[in-house]
């Protein structure tokens, strides 16, 4: 995205099934961004893990739902093609290119994308948020086989009466790390909303989640903030100025990023610095998400689709 890294938020997260999470079945998998568990050979045993790309997909679709409750046009449908009435941001850029528009560089792609593409990326630009694969902590969870009794409840009846087996996991702890790089404060705040919903069990994982399976809970272990370069903040009277990319990156305005982008939060810990990186660590639930929440709310409520995209996206009607 940018040539240099100016800030990064690293979130260590534990995810636990809260009831059966379907990892495998005889049913053709549902389309869309499902978070399917898969197995990998690790330490000599087959072990269940959660691919980071699947986790990111689930977080993305939840973020889209949150955004649309505020402002429908703030989130495109990333699966919508060029011929659909409301193409995705990527498809809109493809059309702009097809029509001979010049100057479709990365700043333009960022500036004109919907808020969700700005955070999660698209075929036109890398996202700010990355998720690692989630591996079992301690004893790996053993998948359990269950037969298909009652399966019609969540296959919608298409496989009614068919004989097949399911594999589920019902316990275990999976550790993953979210990396948010070169973020704006509203993006960090939106991640806070996602973490809260994960904690509250509102984000389902695995297959069959639309049918009530896949309840899980996420727990933040710690949040680390890194600032790089000469504009890294210092503690001032028990407060830490959190700086988004708009306060750290000189060319931010070309990307349509708000400048300055800073909010002061109470911080009781100590900053450490190795001369390159200034680091603040917030253990467990101590990160002040509530204090930055309004950055997301204001950004999404005030969102208006750029005219260059409105020509193709139809004004966010859905």
Site residues, Zn ion (CB under 5 A): 76, 89, 114, 117
Q: At a CB cut-off of 8 Å and minimum separation 6, what does 42 contact? A: 49, 135, 140
Q: If you count DSSP H runs as helices and E runs as strands, how many of each does the chain have, helices first?
A: 8, 14
Smaller CB separation from Zn ion, 29 or 123: 123
Residue nearer to Zn ion on the CB measure, 119 or 220: 119
87: left (phi over 0), alpha (psi -120 to 50) or beta: beta
Nearer to Zn ion, 11 or 117 (CB): 117
Residue closer to Zn ion (CB basis): 109 or 117: 117
Between 23 and 117, name the residue whose CB sits nearer to Zn ion. 117
CB of 66 to Zn ion, least distance (A): 14
**β partners of residue 69:** none
Q: Which is nearer to Zn ion, 73 or 167 (CB)?
A: 73
Distance of CA 102 to the CA centre of its chain: 31
Q: Is the alpha carbon torsion for 137, 195, 277, 2 positive or negative?
A: positive
CA–centroid distance for 50 within its chain:
15
Residues near 153 by beta carbon (within 8 Å), at least 6 away in sequence: 211, 212
Residue closer to Zn ion by CB (options 53, 123) is 123
Tokens 């700043």 correspond to: 107
* Phi-psi map region of 226: left, alpha, beta (phi>0 left; psi -120 to 50 alpha): beta
Residue 35, preceding peptide bond in cis (omega within 30° of 0): no
Query: Coil, helix or strand for 25?
Result: strand
Strand partners, 181: 8
Residue whose pair of structure tokens reads 């996202």 in the numeric block: 127
**Do the Cβ atoms of 248 and 172 come closer than 8 Å?**
no
Cβ-based nearer residue to Zn ion, 113 or 182:
113
Do the Cβ atoms of 245 and 293 come closer than 8 Å? Answer: no
């Amino acid at each position: 995205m940018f040539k240099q890294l100016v800030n990064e938020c690293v979130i260590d997260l534990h995810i636990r099934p809260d009831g059966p999470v379907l990892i495998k079945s005889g049913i053709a998998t549902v389309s869309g961004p499902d978070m399917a568990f898969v197995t990998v050979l690790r330490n000599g045993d087959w072990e269940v893990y959660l691919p980071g790309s699947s986790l990111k997909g689930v977080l993305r679709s939840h973020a889209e739902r949150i955004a649309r409750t505020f402002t429908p046009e703030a989130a495109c449908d990333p699966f919508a093609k060029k011929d659909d009435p409301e193409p995705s941001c990527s498809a809109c850029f493809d059309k702009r290119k097809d029509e001979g528009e010049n100057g479709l560089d990365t700043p333009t792609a960022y500036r004109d994308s919907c808020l969700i593409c700005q955070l999660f990326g698209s075929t036109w630009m890398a996202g700010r948020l990355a998720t690692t694969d989630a591996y079992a902590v301690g004893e790996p969870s053993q998948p359990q086989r269950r037969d298909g009794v009652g399966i019609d409840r969540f296959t919608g009846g298409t496989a009614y009466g068919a004989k097949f087996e399911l594999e589920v996991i019902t316990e275990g702890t999976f550790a993953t790390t979210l990396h948010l790089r070169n973020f704006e404060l509203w993006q960090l705040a939106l991640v806070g909303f996602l973490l809260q919903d994960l904690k509250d069990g509102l984000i389902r994982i695995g297959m069959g989640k639309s049918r009530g399976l896949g309840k899980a809970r996420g727990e933040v272990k710690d949040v680390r903030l890194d600032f790089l370069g000469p504009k890294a903040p210092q503690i001032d009277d028990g407060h830490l100025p959190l700086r988004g990319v708009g306060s750290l990156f000189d060319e931010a305005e070309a990307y349509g990023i708000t400048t300055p982008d800073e909010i002061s939060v109470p911080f009781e810990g100590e900053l450490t610095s190795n001369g390159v990186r200034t680091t603040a660590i917030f253990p467990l639930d101590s990160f002040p998400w509530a204090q930055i929440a309004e950055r997301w709310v204001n950004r999404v409520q005030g969102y208006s689709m750029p005219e260059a995209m409105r020509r193709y996206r139809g004004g966010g009607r859905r």
